[in-house]
């Protein structure tokens, strides 16, 4: 699954900075402003969309490229580790959708919160999580971000406002609305991104939570990552109206090209400003996953290989940023190849270190179950024998 270096999507990129000479390297001024037109215009519901011109810098584009390459490499490595039976249980990979995580993070701060479903590895990485923590958790090791107890679906990083990683379809959305309620109650100028997939978009709990958010004008941004397949079911077979950004009815919405990191950044910045003043909004990210739903799904029985390769050739988020970098003479093709090579090495080193981490002790099964300090007593079935008093 190596990335092609062929520049196949130049026609999708429209640089607007005429002042940039084709012979001048922008890397000498990493903070020079570059204006770029997004690949697809926003489609809005009950709101005026943001500008289709996004400002960026050489430094930001290089950071986007390096971070997305690292995410892509991590997920490909996770595929190999799963097939080697070093990762067990469920494992849902994010390759193809990296622009959503990268663009969203570029628009917010660590005081803003994110909660998502089980396709969570790259969100964790974008929030500042480390590769060693990631691979250790995937392999059920003690040094994992959830101490080896959560595995693939339950990454977590509270100090960066990342509340997981949830395995029950759609159940994270009401929790996200709860977080946004706390932010408003505490008079914070921060927001919560509650992420879900198109497969969860028909869940009743989503609409109940959205109704509460709208009633109380909560700073909640509902992000539908529409990769067009809920497990193996195409969106048009599961939803009478797959225009998910319109599903809020009384809540405004915005459809975004989720394969374009700059479009995502602009949309998330716009959404944050909106919800702090007027309450919730829905962002539908039009994206695509290259792997199947999970590692148990080959991903080719309900879609063709031509469809997958077509998206790779025309919309790949990593290649889109690569082409912007090359078009603006920020770096050479060889320099970008060197970054990719370096990231492979970093990922391999992280895997080796994660493998050295011990498995959790069996006694750890009984920790992190109850809040400490309440003196909870554990009895037998007949409640006559006190078995333990938890700390």
Where are the chain's structural domains?
34-360, 361-390
Pick from 190, 153, 177, 351: nearest CA to 251:
177
The model's pLDDT over 261-274, given as tens digits with 9 standing for 90+, comes to 999 999 999 999 99
Residue 266 β-bridge partners:
none
- Contact between residue 200 and residue 223 where contact means Cβ atoms under 8 Å apart: no
Q: What is the DSSP string of 336-365?
A: HHHHHHHHHHHHHHHHHHHHHSPPPPGGGG
Task: Output the pLDDT for position 125.
Answer: 98
Whole-angstrom Cα distance, residue 235 to residue 289? Answer: 14
Whether the per-residue pLDDT at 14 is higher than 60: the answer is no
Higher confidence at residue 383 or residue 150? 150
Pick from 389, 358, 350, 381: nearest CA to 81:
350
Whether the per-residue pLDDT at 89 is higher than 60: the answer is yes
Task: Output the pLDDT for position 2.
Answer: 41
Task: Output the pLDDT for position 20.
Answer: 38
Give the residue-averaged pLDDT of 35-59.
97
Helix 131-138 to helix 333-356 angle, to the nearest 10 degrees?
50
Whole-angstrom Cα distance, residue 211 to residue 280? Answer: 10
In sequence order, what are the residues at sequence separation of 6 or more whose Cβ sits closer than 8 angstroms to the Cβ of residue 388? 377, 378
Residue 222 β-bridge partners:
194, 282
Q: How confident is the model at residue 6 (pLDDT cuts 50, 70, 90)?
A: very low
Q: How confident is the model at residue 3 (pLDDT cuts 50, 70, 90)?
A: very low
**Residues of the chain above pLDDT 70, percent:** 93
Give the residue-averaged pLDDT of 206-228.
98
Distance separating the N- and C-terminal Cα atoms of the chain: 49
Whether the per-residue pLDDT at 338 is higher than 90: the answer is yes
Whole-angstrom Cα distance, residue 201 to residue 197? Answer: 6
What is residue 12's DSSP assignment?
G
What is the C-alpha radius of gyration for the chain, rounded to an integer number of angstroms? 22
Q: Where are the alpha helices (DSSP H) in 108-260?
A: 121-126, 131-138, 172-185, 204-215, 235-238
Domain 34-360 sits in CATH at 3.40.50.970
Q: What is the DSSP string of 144-188?
A: STTTTSSGGG---BGGGTB-----STTTHHHHHHHHHHHHHHTT-
In sequence order, what are the residues at sequence separation of 6 or more whose Cβ sits closer than 8 angstroms to the Cβ of residue 178? none
What is the average pLDDT value for the chain, to the nearest integer?
92
Higher confidence at residue 377 or residue 4? 377
Task: Give 35: exposed, middle or buried? Use CB within 10 Å, 0-12, 13-18, 19+.
Answer: middle
Give the residue-averaged pLDDT of 20-27.
41
Whole-angstrom Cα distance, residue 195 to residue 222? Answer: 6
């Amino acid at each position: 699954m190596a990335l092609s270096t062929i520049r196949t999507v130049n026609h999708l990129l429209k640089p607007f900075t005429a002042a940039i000479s084709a012979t001048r390297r922008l890397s000498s001024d990493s903070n020079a402003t570059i204006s770029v037109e997004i690949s697809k215009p926003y489609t809005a519901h009950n709101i005026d969309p943001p500008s289709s011109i996004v400002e960026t810098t050489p430094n930001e584009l290089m950071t986007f490229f390096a971070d997305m390459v690292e995410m892509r490499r991590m997920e490909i490595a996770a595929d190999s580790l799963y097939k080697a039976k070093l990762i067990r249980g469920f494992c849902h990979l994010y390759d193809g959708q990296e622009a959503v995580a990268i663009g969203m993070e570029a628009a917010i701060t660590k005081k803003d919160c994110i909660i998502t479903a089980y396709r969570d590895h790259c969100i964790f990485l974008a929030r500042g999580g480390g590769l060693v923590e990631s691979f250790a958790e995937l392999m059920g090791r003690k040094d994992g971000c959830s101490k080896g107890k959560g595995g693939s679906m339950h990454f977590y990083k509270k100090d960066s406002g990342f509340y997981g990683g949830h395995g029950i379809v759609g159940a994270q959305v009401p929790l996200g609305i709860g977080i946004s309620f706390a932010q408003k109650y505490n008079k914070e100028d921060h927001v919560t991104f509650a992420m879900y997939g198109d497969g969860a978009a028909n869940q009743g709990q989503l609409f109940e939570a959205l109704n509460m958010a709208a009633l109380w004008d909560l700073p909640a941004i509902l992000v539908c990552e529409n990769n067009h397949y809920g497990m193996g079911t195409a969106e048009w077979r599961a939803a009478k109206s797959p225009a998910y950004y319109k599903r809020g009815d009384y809540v405004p919405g915005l459809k975004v090209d989720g394969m374009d990191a700059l479009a995502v950044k602009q949309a998330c910045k716009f959404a944050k400003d909106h919800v702090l003043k007027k309450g919730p909004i829905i962002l539908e990210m039009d994206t695509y996953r290259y792997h199947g739903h999970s590692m148990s799904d080959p991903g080719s029985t309900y879609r063709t290989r031509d469809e997958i390769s077509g998206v790779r050739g025309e919309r790949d988020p990593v290649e889109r940023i690569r082409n912007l970098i090359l078009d603006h003479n920020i770096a050479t093709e060889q320099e970008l190849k060197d970054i990719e090579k370096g990231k492979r090495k970093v990922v391999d080193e992280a895997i080796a270190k994660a493998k050295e981490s011990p498995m959790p002790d069996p006694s750890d099964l009984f920790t992190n179950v109850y809040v400490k300090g309440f003196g909870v007593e554990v009895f037998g079935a007949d409640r006559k024998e006190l078995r333990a008093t938890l700390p």
